[in-house]
Chain A
Amino acid sequence: KAGVTQTPRYLIKTRGQQVTLSCSPISGHRSVSWYQQTPGQGLQFLFEYFSETQRNKGNFPGRFSGRQFSNSRSEMNVSTLELGDSALYLCASSLEGRDYGYTFGSGTRLTVV
């Protein structure tokens, strides 16, 4: 079966701009989680969506937001980009979330210049 698909794979943006990243989960998976990976902070949880509702949120500023559509596809948005937002953004899907049966995508590499 198809895995978790994240688009685009690479992105370069300028400070102050906004960006939208997309994640298509495995068919049938209703939970989508987002993680940020940086060399300095490591892997950090951003938020989780389940059935179009944000169920859990990490400790990130309000510039980071997300949503989930009825087909379980998810987007995350970062507004007013800062240099420190440069990171690999990973999406993970699972059937229910609480089963911890996560499958990760290959990520979107965001570079802010």
Chain B
Amino acid sequence: AQSVTQPDIHITVSEGASLELRCNYSYGATPYLFWYVQSPGQGLQLLLKYFSGDTLVQGIKGFEAEFKRSQSSFNLRKPSVHWSDAAEYFCAVGISNFGNEKLTFGTGTRLTIIP
């Protein structure tokens, strides 16, 4: 079965600093990979997704992620964070199995931004 690991429960960065959130997945075939963000009391908003092709994926709000098959990783990056980026971030994997589509989420990384 597929699984997702987000090793960092909580990360604090200064406004304007760069950010990298880690994500490792386990899945036997080529996965579909996603990053979602959740603000308090809200649902999930898709930041970016990887299905195939170019391993560097650009998303909304200035985020990008790189798929590294050899490391089973899909880390999220942003060159300069803004106070409004404070939220919880979830990495997810979707299996490429016809008729059995669902998302398996990591446990999330809470991002705090300090002035």
Using known A-B contacts A42-B107, A42-B108, A100-B94, determine if residue A33 contacts B102 with beta carbons closer than 8 Å. yes
- How far, in Å, is A21 (CB) from chain B's closest CB? 13
Q: Check if A66 is an interface residue, CB within 8 A of chain B.
A: no
Using known A-B contacts A90-B44, A100-B94, A105-B43, determine if residue A43 contacts B101 with beta carbons closer than 8 Å. no
**Which residues of chain B are within 8 angstroms of A64 by Cβ–Cβ distance?**
none
Docked CA distance A25–B36 (Å): 19
Chain B residues within 8 Å of chain A by Cβ, number: 25
Q: Check if B105 is an interface residue, CB within 8 A of chain A.
A: yes
Docked CA distance A90–B90 (Å): 14
**Which residues of chain B are within 8 angstroms of A109 by Cβ–Cβ distance?**
41
Residue of A nearest to B44 (CB): A104
Docked CA distance A61–B34 (Å): 28
Partner of A43, one of B45, B49, B90: B90
> Which interface class (under 10, 10 to 19, 20 to 34, 35 or more) fits A?
20 to 34
Q: Check if B70 is an interface residue, CB within 8 A of chain A.
A: no
Docked CA distance A78–B102 (Å): 21
Q: Is the interface of A mostly helix, strand, loop or mixed?
A: strand
Which positions 72-108 of chain A face chain B at CB distance < 8 Å?
Answer: 90, 92, 97-98, 100, 102-107
Tally of A-B Cβ pairs under 8 angstroms: 53
* Cross-chain contact A45 with B102 (CB below 8 angstroms): yes
Docked CA distance A55–B98 (Å): 11
Q: Check if B99 is an interface residue, CB within 8 A of chain A.
A: yes
Q: Check if B63 is an interface residue, CB within 8 A of chain A.
A: no
Using known A-B contacts A42-B107, A42-B108, A43-B90, determine if residue A97 contacts B101 with beta carbons closer than 8 Å. yes
* Cross-chain contact B42 with A45 (CB below 8 angstroms): no
* Cross-chain contact A98 with B101 (CB below 8 angstroms): yes
Docked CA distance A104–B42 (Å): 9
* Cross-chain contact A55 with B90 (CB below 8 angstroms): no
- How far, in Å, is A57 (CB) from chain B's closest CB? 9
* Cross-chain contact A98 with B104 (CB below 8 angstroms): no
Question: Chain A residues in contact with chain B, CB under 8 A?
Answer: 4, 33, 35, 42-45, 48, 55-56, 58, 90, 92, 97-98, 100, 102-107, 109
